[in-house]
Amino acid sequence: MPVYRMRDGKENLAKNDEIFLSSVKVLENNFALGLFPEAAHSGKRQMLVHKKAVPRIVFMAEEKAKKNLDIQIIPTGIYYSHYWKFNRNLIVNFGKPIRANEFLDQFKQSESAATISLRQRILDEMQSVVLEIKSTKYYDDFESIREIYGKHFLKRQNQKNSVLNLFYSDQQLVKKLDVLEENNPEITKDIVKSAKNYVSKIKKLKLRSWLLEKSDLNWLKIVLNKLILLLGFPIFLFGFIFNAAPFFIIDSVTRKKIKDKGFWSTFYLVLGIILFPIFYLIEFFAASWLFPGIWLKLAFLFAMPFTGKIAFLWYILFRKTIGQIRLLTLKTFNKTEYNILLKEKELLFGKLDEIISLKD
């Protein structure tokens, strides 16, 4: 159900009353209502100002039902490890319910004050279920530090490396970085400078920071990876041939036509649902004559999407192997440059270890 804003045209604002009434009906019938309190997106790990829609709908529903609904507001954080690249991690994090009844007495005295109070309470509770970098000055730098130092910070806490543990650890890390900026701006400036230099050097060498975390990396692993790539190449080729056209068409159209990256995932999904089945059917009718018997034809049809996913995983392994080869080549044939890079990483991590304590 859309909520109309001034940018949608002043003449559309009156339609919000109908949307609010529909929302109230959902709550009156004991169904769940999902609302985005920011009513906007930024493509950053930062919460925007919460609008008044959630408190307004809650109080409207409670008033209409003579305060008998006992509405529970559940703060919900949605975490994406990447905003528009697919095959990444997603965490949907539920917080403690907020009882609307706690604000009804205040609502009797002042609707405005109760609305502001409830909105602030929701905002406060959201802090525990999202990953938020508050800094505006060093947002990109703190995000970069989180990416290169996050797993090391998790390891310092003797925690198992998992998606969920890393999320909670990163929450602590970015909070500590925000506090550091507030209390020690000069130290923060120095850390940011060191992080920038390290990241710049990695990019110049066409490496990724995670490669330097792999202490057990050796040429034998490279050979094993190459063997897997070689054996898996026929499957990759099959998956690539029958998935490349819709994949690259969707990617190209989305990147050219949609300027706001926050909408890329939506368009990838919708266009993918439409185009992939169409291409599969076209490819099936074009090539199924090569396969004798109904069962082989059906196997061919069902193989197209599955081998497409395998082709993507093959490509990821290929990219990782290239990165590993670059690092081992640097380590073997340019040991001085490799040691300088390693020393720079150790100095940066040492500084961060020193100023970011494990205790609150």
Per-residue pLDDT tens digits for 130-170: 999 999 999 999 999 999 999 999 999 999 999 999 999 99
What percent of the chain has pLDDT above 90?
78
Instruction: Provide the pLDDT confidence category of residue 360 given band limits of 50, 70 and 90.
Output: low
Q: What's the pLDDT score for residue 87? A: 86
pTM value > 0.85: yes
Q: How many helices (H) and strands (E) does the chain have?
A: 11, 4
Q: How far apart are CA 93 and CA 83, in angstroms?
A: 16
Which pair of tokens denotes residue 197? 């230099």
pLDDT one-digit tens code per residue, 176-229: 999 999 999 999 999 999 999 999 999 999 999 999 887 778 899 899 999 999
Q: Which amino acid is at 128?
A: S
Report yes or no: 95 and 125 within 8 Å, Cβ to Cβ: yes
Identify the three-state secondary structure at position 3: coil
What separation in angstroms does the CA of 313 have from each of 7, 109, 282, 287? 42, 60, 25, 25
**Which one has a higher pLDDT value, 215 or 254?**
254
User: Coil, strand or helix: which one is 91?
Assistant: strand
